[in-house]
Amino acid sequence: MVVNFSTKTRPSGLTAAQLEHSIKRNFGGFDTDQFNPMDVFREKLHNLETLPRHDEEDGTAPPTDPMGLIKSSLAANVPQLQEYVCKIMIIRILCNN
């Protein structure tokens, strides 16, 4: 997901919202009271807060709230991921049974 976002946004680079969306989608399902992946990434990536936020200002940022993440998974709102969504959903269904 990060590679797709960064390829799409060249030369301006990855934005904070794109990285947060990718991290939360990758680590979705964790109880954030016990493990918050964003805290780990903020601790390790000291420049995380300096990433551009222009997509948040112009309304093109991917969702980072829980409902938005679920909707983007189900509806494939992220065009770069449309080919992968079915595979991800199948894996999730198989892992839950």
- Rounded CA-CA distance 22/64 in Å is 9
Looking at per-residue pLDDT, the higher value among 14 and 87 belongs to 14
**pLDDT confidence bin for 49, thresholds 50/70/90:** confident
Per-residue model confidence as pLDDT tens digits over 52-89: 888 888 888 888 888 888 777 766 555 555 555 555 55
User: Is 95 a residue whose pLDDT tops 80?
Assistant: no
Please compute, for residue 31, the number of CA atoms within 13 A of its CA located in the half-sphere on the CB side. Answer: 2
Q: What percent of the chain has pLDDT over 70?
A: 63
**Predicted TM-score (pTM) of this structure:** 0.66
Which bin fits 65, alpha (ψ -120 to 50), beta or left (φ > 0)? beta
Sorted by sequence, the CB contacts under 8 Å of residue 17 that are 6+ apart come out as: 53, 55, 56, 61, 62, 64
Sorted by sequence, the CB contacts under 8 Å of residue 7 that are 6+ apart come out as: none
